[in-house]
């Protein structure tokens, strides 16, 4: 968590996406409706708190703060990998605390593609999950000295989970993006919610290298941007729902993601930085994000999220 906070987010492919604004807007600020439908649920906003953390007392405190924000805004919230809590019951409360804070919350469980369907059921019960993420992180695992080295069983695991699970299943990358072949394979496995999670934000290969004082940049250059991943997804958007995450820096990046075809945007670092502030400042920061999304939509002559799909962009 600390290493993620220290990484600086600079330019990325979102800077290559441009809009032409309308100098005669046809909507007032109060006409803009941000309601969005994803994970088979209607939400007030097109963004949610994406997977981050859990497993220690410090991360328990972070999850408490994140759940409090989720409750205040009615946001969906994903937790970090629950593997540690399946292996060690003493840290389960670092995840389940979110349900204590927000009993009516829409929570998203999280495990790697190594997980069995039984693991998914246990992790879901732990936080009363209403959706579940399976994360794909081969670059991170291979950068990690103690990481996984066996991957060919992942497809079978995902296919079985997709077949058996009774709540929405999301398969997501962890900041390295997805190419078209990956997207097509996931759809063929029965996955209908895909978080492309491209590069341009937190680099987990860089984090793993920093953990072991490796400074040769091994695997840090791998990755497909969120923008490019969303472009790959466009021919499949009638077959699956796509979520954008990775390198999302602002309201403008959120709108660009939605124009490129995302049904929702998952934010991790934004909320991780936000909970470092006092509560009043947290509210101010999220309110500003919401306001900024509406301002961009006014300039595009769009008053609802669905119609953003029809906005022309240039790159």
Asked whether residue 52 is marked as a ligand-binding residue, the answer is yes
**83 in a labelled binding site:** yes
To the question of whether residue 110 is assigned a binding role by annotation, the answer is yes
Q: Is the separation of the CB atoms in 136 and 95 below 8 Å?
A: no
51 is in an annotated binding site: yes
Tell me what percent of the chain is helix, strand and coil, each rounded to the nearest 5: 45, 15, 40
Please tell me whether 126 is known to bind a ligand: no
| Distance of alpha carbon 124 from alpha carbon 118, whole angstroms | 10
- 172 annotated as ligand-binding: yes
Q: Is 81 annotated as a binding residue?
A: yes
Q: 281: which DSSP letter? A: H
Burial class of residue 14 in the structure, from the number of CB atoms within 10 Å of its CB (0-12 exposed, 13-18 middle, 19+ buried): buried
Confirm whether residue 249 is marked as ligand binding. yes
Query: Any known ligand binding at 268?
Result: yes
Alpha helices in the chain (DSSP H): 2-6, 57-73, 83-87, 93-101, 117-127, 138-143, 154-164, 180-188, 204-211, 226-233, 251-259, 269-274, 279-299
Give 291's contacts (C-beta < 8 A, 6+ positions apart). none
Pairwise CA distance, residues 223 & 284, whole Å: 33
Whole-number Å distance between alpha carbons of 31 and 219: 46
Q: CA–CA separation, 187 vs 23, rounded Å?
A: 41
246 among the known binding-site residues? no
* Contact (CB, 8 A) for 237 and 279: no
User: Does the annotation list 309 as a binding residue?
Assistant: no
- Find out whether 56 is annotated in a ligand binding site: no
DSSP state of 101: H
Q: Is 197 among the annotated ligand-binding positions? A: yes
CA-wise closest residue to 94 among 84, 105, 106: 84
**What is the rounded distance in angstroms from the CA atom of residue 206 to the CA atom of residue 151?**
21
Task: Mark the binding-site residues for Mg(2+), compressed into ranges.
Answer: 141
Task: Mark the binding-site residues for FMN, compressed into ranges.
Answer: 51-53, 81, 110, 172, 197, 202, 247-249, 268-269
Task: Mark the binding-site residues for substrate, compressed into ranges.
Answer: 81-83, 140
Task: Mark the binding-site residues, compressed into ranges.
Answer: 51-53, 81-83, 110, 140-141, 172, 197, 202, 247-249, 268-269
């Amino acid at each position: 968590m600390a290493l993620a906070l220290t990484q600086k987010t600079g330019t990325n492919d979102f800077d290559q996406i441009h809009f032409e604004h309308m100098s005669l807007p046809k909507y007032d600020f109060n006409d803009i409706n941000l309601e969005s439908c994803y994970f088979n649920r209607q939400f007030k906003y097109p963004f949610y708190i994406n997977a981050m953390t859990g497993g220690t007392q410090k991360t328990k405190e972070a999850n408490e703060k994140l759940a409090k924000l989720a409750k205040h805004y009615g946001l969906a919230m994903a937790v970090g990998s629950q593997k540690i809590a399946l292996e060690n019951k003493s840290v389960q409360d670092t995840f389940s605390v979110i349900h204590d804070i927000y009993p009516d919350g829409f929570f998203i469980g999280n495990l790697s593609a190594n997980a069995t369907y039984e693991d998914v059921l246990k992790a879901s019960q732990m936080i009363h999950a209403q959706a579940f993420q399976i994360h794909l992180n081969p670059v991170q695992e291979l950068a990690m000295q103690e990481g996984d080295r066996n991957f060919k069983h992942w497809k079978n695991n995902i296919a079985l989970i997709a077949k058996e699970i009774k709540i929405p299943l999301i398969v997501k990358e962890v900041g390295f993006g997805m190419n078209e072949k990956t997207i097509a394979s996931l759809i063929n496995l029965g996955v209908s919610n895909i978080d492309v999670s491209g590069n341009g934000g937190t680099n987990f290969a860089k984090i793993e290298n920093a953990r072991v004082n490796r400074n040769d940049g091994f695997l840090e250059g791998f990755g497909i941007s969120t923008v490019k991943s969303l472009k790959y997804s466009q021919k499949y958007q009638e077959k699956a729902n796509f979520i954008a995450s990775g390198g999302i820096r602002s309201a403008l990046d959120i709108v660009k993601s939605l124009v490129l075809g995302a049904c929702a945007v998952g934010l991790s670092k934004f909320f991780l930085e936000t909970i470092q502030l006092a509560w009043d400042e947290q509210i101010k920061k999220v309110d500003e994000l919401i306001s900024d999304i509406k301002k961009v939509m006014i300039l595009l002559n769009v008053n609802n999220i669905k119609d953003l799909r029809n906005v022309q962009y240039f790159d």
